[in-house]
Structure 1
Amino acid sequence: MSALLVDDFPAEATTGTPSADATEETATVVVTETFWHWRHGRIRVWETDPHPSGQAIVLLHGYGAMVEHWRKNIPVLAADATVYALDLLGFGKSDMPDVHYSARLWGEQVRDFLDARRLEKVTIFGHSMGGLVAAQFAHDYPERTAGLVLVDPSGYPPRTPSDALFRILRFAAENPLLRDVSYWLFATPDIARQGLTSAYFNPEAITPDLVEAFVAPLRQPGAKYSYLAVARHPDDFFVKAPNGIHAPTLLVWGGRDRLLPPRLLKPFRELIPHAESVVIPDTGHCPQDETPAAFNLAVQRFLRMNVFDLG
């Protein structure tokens, strides 16, 4: 167990107010890092001190990311709730076993984590692939979902495994020799930087520390299993919600997202008709990290008005 004082975060994480009319000065926040032993392996957890309101937020990162991608948001969110950020199985500093990764497997990880911490109902945040997991969780476990914040989510519209490109990628991912060679070519700082360049609108946001944070997990022996999971089982990576999603929902999108462009707001609004939405201008695929002040303001207003009843 280790404790990270708010001073351990970059300056953007410790600022108190993105806007004086909507947030109060953020108090010193201590984030504790622990490892929770799940049935598939150890899971890294960041959590803040218990909040007297009893409200809880769970943060789920995107593909290839980790809990640090929420470092600029946790202090603001901790003003209203206890905050838990999880490294999904196969990413960050969580274990990376050779298992059948899917949105529903990670949803089970969240469910079991809530059971382990005796949390009945939480607000789920999900970025990119984590948004897919959060949306699927909200459908599968509506009784455990108080609210939902989807940040440039993936998973809709569905990709079909019959696509020629997906068939080629799946063949390569399931062939041990091709899998190892393709992963060896993929897992480099240059490729990680290229990916971040596509994900961020402002190139100045791509710091050496950010690149290293994304490269470090790639060096782990089991990373090839989780990082190639989409290619191995593409049908498991889109939202399956025949019963709809009924939790209060906020869709947040970067207005300059090149990976998942804002036009995808339309199918997500069709999937969740009651959802509110915010598009943050001059922002790429990672608004929570690239423009944290605008992001924090939007989500705090939504939570206080629609979930925490603090409006």
Structure 2
Amino acid sequence: MSRSPQDRYYLWEYETGRTAKIRYRQSGPEESDKPALLFVHGYGGMLEHWNLNIPEFDHDRPVYALDLIGFGGSQKPRTRYRLELFAAQINAFIQYRQLEDVIIIGHSMGGASGLYYAHLNPETVSGLILANPSGLFGDTMDPMAKAFFGLIASPGIGEFMFAAFANQLGVSQSLLPTYYNQKKVDLRLINQFTRPLQDKGAVWSYLSPSRRPSDFTLEHLPRPCRYRNKAFLIWGAEDSALPAQKIIPEFQELLPQAGAYIIPKAAHCIHHDAHEAFNNRLRHILDNEMNV
């Protein structure tokens, strides 16, 4: 078991004749009778955002974390970013690592991507654990926010606003509302989220949700979706953007079998914001609810 897993890379052909370098990390034993865990970060995130979680679970099973294409340390080509693309990436990674038994743990956009993948490939997923997933919004976006996203989508204005916010100050202002424990938004976290914004192509991937919002929703999936195996929702009670009381019922229409757990004193970035409570709940799910 390695407590300091190294970055690994592989080339993924995301379109015919076009490849991107994808970053991931692997920890835990190579061989285990327990399902592998695959951690998938949210919008703007990266695999390091799981650093307070992965070490609690890699002592007896293989654990993987990857950077979605366009984010973190993965390449950021000019392509059409969407949940379908991320689901295809998850599929390619599972095939690349030859994972026959996997539990997907996804946060926010990573949760939506994991669910989309599980819907398309229900037989390949042993469990789905979604932490404050995005993709269903329950009409929670107020008119001001809709106007803001419309502005970003305007040619030229989006690039200007991206340049204005792609710095430590802009990142800190974006992160603070997603945390209940404001002390967690320290300089290390801010730098961690700022660094990928300087990469070539970042403007394209980071602006995609505002330019094509329909590409990042799960609204078109059937209710219930095709994935019928075990599923769980873990929600921060203080998530103002995706409030539990509005969004959990919508996800349970997609996943009627999903158990839901609400953790107090935690906002959108629940796994990092309240990492001990999140880890305890995740361990309870794995050990008692799933018996894996």
Which residue, 278, 281, 287 being the options, matches 2:261?
Answer: 278
What are the ranges of 5 or more consecutive residues in structure 2 without an aligned counterpart? Answer: 14-18
Query: Relative to structure 1, is the Cα distance of residues 154 and 125 closer, same or farther in structure 2, using a 3 angstrom cutoff?
Result: same
Contact 1:255-1:280 within 8 A present in 2 as well: yes
Question: 1:119: how far off?
Answer: 1.3
Question: 1:158: how far off?
Answer: 6.7
User: What corresponds to 1:251 in structure 2?
Assistant: 233
Q: Distance in 2 between the 1:224 and 1:158 partners?
A: 28
Contact 2:137-2:242 within 8 A present in 1 as well: no
Provide the secondary structure at the position in 2 that maps to 1:265.
helix
Provide the secondary structure at the position in 2 that maps to 1:108.
helix
TM-score for the superposition, normalised by structure 1 = 0.84
Alignment deviations for residues 238-270 of structure 1 (CA, whole Å, 9 cap, x no partner): 114315131211100111112212121121122
Q: Which amino acid aligns with 1:280?
A: I
Q: Distance in 2 between the 1:290 and 1:167 partners?
A: 29
User: What corresponds to 1:225 in structure 2?
Assistant: 204
Count residues in correspondence.
Answer: 280
Query: Relative to structure 1, is the Cα distance of residues 168 and 195 closer, same or farther in structure 2, using a 3 angstrom cutoff?
Result: closer
Query: Relative to structure 1, is the Cα distance of residues 195 and 42 closer, same or farther in structure 2, using a 3 angstrom cutoff?
Result: same
Provide the secondary structure at the position in 2 that maps to 1:47.
strand
Query: Relative to structure 1, is the Cα distance of residues 51 and 261 closer, same or farther in structure 2, using a 3 angstrom cutoff?
Result: farther
Q: Which amino acid aligns with 1:217?
A: P
Q: Distance in 1 between the 2:268 and 2:284 partners?
A: 21
1:34 aligns with 2:8: yes
Instruction: Give the 5 Å matches for 1:87-98.
Output: 87-98=67-78
Contact 1:138-1:247 within 8 A present in 2 as well: no
Alignment RMSD (CA, Å): 2.2
User: What corresponds to 1:153 in structure 2?
Assistant: 133
Which residue, 55, 67, 72 being the options, matches 2:52?
Answer: 72
Contact 1:256-1:283 within 8 A present in 2 as well: yes
User: What corresponds to 1:104 in structure 2?
Assistant: 84
Query: Relative to structure 1, is the Cα distance of residues 102 and 275 closer, same or farther in structure 2, using a 3 angstrom cutoff?
Result: same
Question: 1:146: how far off?
Answer: 0.7
Q: Which amino acid aligns with 1:101?
A: Y
After TM superposition, the structure 1 stretch with the greater mean CA deviation from structure 2, 139-148 or 237-246, is: 237-246
Provide the secondary structure at the position in 2 that maps to 1:32.
coil
Q: Distance in 1 between the 2:171 and 2:272 partners?
A: 16
User: What corresponds to 2:43 in structure 1?
Assistant: 63
After TM superposition, the structure 1 stretch with the greater mean CA deviation from structure 2, 88-97 or 73-82, is: 73-82
Which residue, 245, 256, 271 being the options, matches 1:288?
Answer: 271
Contact 2:234-2:260 within 8 A present in 1 as well: yes
Alignment deviations for residues 186-228 of structure 1 (CA, whole Å, 9 cap, x no partner): 2121111011110001111111100000111111121001100
What are the ranges of 5 or more consecutive residues in structure 1 without an aligned counterpart? Answer: 1-26
After TM superposition, the structure 1 stretch with the greater mean CA deviation from structure 2, 258-267 or 291-300, is: 258-267
Query: Relative to structure 1, is the Cα distance of residues 38 and 174 closer, same or farther in structure 2, using a 3 angstrom cutoff?
Result: farther
Alignment deviations for residues 110-152 of structure 1 (CA, whole Å, 9 cap, x no partner): 1011111111231111101111101111111101111001000
Alignment deviations for residues 66-118 of structure 1 (CA, whole Å, 9 cap, x no partner): 00110011111213421110100000010000100000100000101111111
After TM superposition, the structure 1 stretch with the greater mean CA deviation from structure 2, 121-130 or 266-275, is: 266-275
Provide the secondary structure at the position in 1 that maps to 2:119.
helix
Q: Which amino acid aligns with 1:98?
A: R
User: What corresponds to 2:252 in structure 1?
Assistant: 269
Q: Distance in 2 between the 1:172 and 1:235 partners?
A: 15
% same residue = 33
1:303 aligns with 2:283: no
